[in-house]
Chains A and B, each alone.
Chain A
Amino acid sequence: DVKVTQSSRYLVKRTGEKVFLECVQDMDHENMFWYRQDPGLGLRLIYFSYDVKMKEKGDIPEGYSVSREKKERFSLILESASTNQTSMYLCASRYAGTGTYEQYFGPGTRLTVT
């Protein structure tokens, strides 16, 4: 079974702090994604990565950056956390070849910025 893990389930940070959210997948998937989930808004794409060292902006990249130095790991970075970044963050991965295009999700990190 595919396993996607995220470094923290719950995180509390102060405004202005630099925050790192880590995601690791164990199925050698090329594609990895970071989504933000807010009530009434569903999931919105922040960034995604086609492969190592490759990244593309999603719908809401402002205030975020990403890093993918190894295939299995995709990090989301909040350069200077703000209260409007309080949210649930979901990581996902997917096999890049032709197929079903199903994404596998991690358990999520609930981030609170105070």
Chain B
Amino acid sequence: AQTVTQSQPEMSVQEAETVTLSCTYDTSESDYYLFWYKQPPSRQMILVIRQEAYKQQNATENRFSVNFQKAAKSFSLKISDSQLGDAAMYFCAYTNQAGTALIFGKGTTLSVSS
């Protein structure tokens, strides 16, 4: 069975600094999709970034980028130039090519200080 592990329950960063959130996963599939979702306090969960396993190039979305290491089954999220609005719980998630339900990690709570 596929699993997703986020080993950092909490992280903190100062404004304008860079922070990296870790995620590892386990699967025997060769084709799959990985996601980072953001859930601000009392607000809706939104997609931050996605990565297709068949793509070697790491995905980037403005200040957010990933380091996808397929052989190591690692999928970390880097947030550059952190802003107060980045404070949230971040979930790493996996789905296989059949595209059924997402499998989530337990989440990392990120706090940002000024």
Contacts and interface: CB of A to CB of B under 8 A. Distances in A.
Interface residues of A, number: 24
A100 B104 contact: no
A100 B44 CA distance: 20
B30 interface: no
Contacts, number: 46
Contact of A42 (B46, B52, B105): B105
B100 A48 contact: yes
B46 A102 contact: no
Contacts of A40: 9, 106
Interface string B32-60: 01010100000111110010100000000
Contacts of A44: 104
A107 B105 contact: no
Contacts of A105: 37, 44-46
* Residue of B37, B45, B104, B105 with most chain A CB atoms under a 10 A cut-off: B45
Interface of A: 31, 33, 35, 40-45, 48, 58, 90, 92, 94, 96, 98, 100-103, 105-108
5 contacts: A40-B106, A42-B105, A102-B35, A103-B102, A105-B44
